[in-house]
Structures are given as C-alpha cells and as structure tokens.
C-alpha cells in the first residue's frame, strides 16, 4: 500500500487492516463514519449516517460489522441505558463517561485524582489494579437547567 493511500485511510480502517480484516466498500464506509463520530453512536445511528454515504448499506450489514469490530477489539460496547448498546473506538485512553439520563448525552472527561484514588483503593485491598471503568448517570441540577 502506498504512503498516500495509507494516509487517506480513516483511523478505524487502519486498525481493521492491521487486524487482517478484509475491507469491503461497505465496511470502509462504516469505518469512516465511526472514525468521524465524536459521540457514542448506536447501530441505528451508524446506519443512518452510513446510508447517507452509501444507500446500499443495510442495517444488518452495520450490525454484523459492528459485532466484528467489537470481536476484534477495535470497538468497545457500552450500555448507557436507553436499551441500545453504544460504541466507541477501544483505544481512547483513560477517560470516563457522564451520562445525562434526561437527554442521553454522553460527556467524556478525565480525572487524574480518580485514577490515584482507585489505585490506592486496590492496593489497600491487596490488589494490583489492571483496569477500571467509571460511568456516572446524572441529571442536571435545577439551577443549571437551560
């Protein structure tokens, strides 16, 4: 693959190729949509976005592709409530999610103090921390609703 061709690939397309996945045209579209997503879309939203780029993509293709990308460790599945799994690229670094239970909006944040706290807690309990996850489900306070 030429340098120019490699540079034109989306982040998820490159991850797929590194994992040895065959990149069909429809997989490329789905990978590009996922790479350009700054939210945590569910399959239905991915389908809406991908079908705008390629109207031959079926929702079944999106489901199969997302499942494959999850199996290969490229995507991470989240249950933020609402009955639909939502996805993001696995290698996003240490960050956390605050989910607004009224709107479903997901806000990502980092907190080095939290990392220290969970490491200390694991040590106190006699464990070496391997990984951790924090998801906060919250509602805006009355004073901040606007």
Q: Which residues fall in the annotated binding site for Fe cation?
A: 132
DSSP string spanning 2-14? -HHHHHTS-HHHH
Binding residue positions: 132
State the Cα–Cα distance between residues 32 and 57, nearest whole angstrom.
14
State the Cα–Cα distance between residues 54 and 32, nearest whole angstrom.
12
State the Cα–Cα distance between residues 69 and 75, nearest whole angstrom.
6
Tokens of 7: 């540079």
Q: Are 117 and 124 in contact (CB under 8 A)?
A: no
- Closest listed residue to residue 39, CA positions, set 105, 93, 103: 105
Other CB atoms within a 10 A radius of the CB of residue 30 amount to: 28
């Amino acid at each position: 693959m030429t340098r120019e061709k490699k540079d034109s690939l989306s982040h998820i397309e490159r991850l797929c190729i590194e994992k040895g996945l065959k990149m069909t045209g429809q997989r490329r579209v789905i990978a590009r949509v996922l790479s350009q997503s700054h939210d945590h879309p569910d399959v239905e939203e991915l389908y809406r976005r991908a079908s705008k780029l390629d109207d031959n993509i079926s929702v079944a293709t999106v489901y199969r592709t997302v499942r494959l990308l999850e199996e290969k460790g490229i995507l991470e599945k989240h249950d933020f409530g609402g009955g639909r799994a939502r996805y993001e690229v696995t290698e996003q670094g240490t960050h956390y999610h605050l989910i607004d239970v009224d709107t479903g909006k997901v806000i990502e944040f980092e907190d080095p103090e939290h990392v220290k706290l969970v490491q200390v807690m694991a040590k106190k309990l006699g464990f070496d921390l391997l990984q951790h996850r924090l998801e906060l489900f919250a509602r805006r306070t009355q004073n901040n609703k606007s």
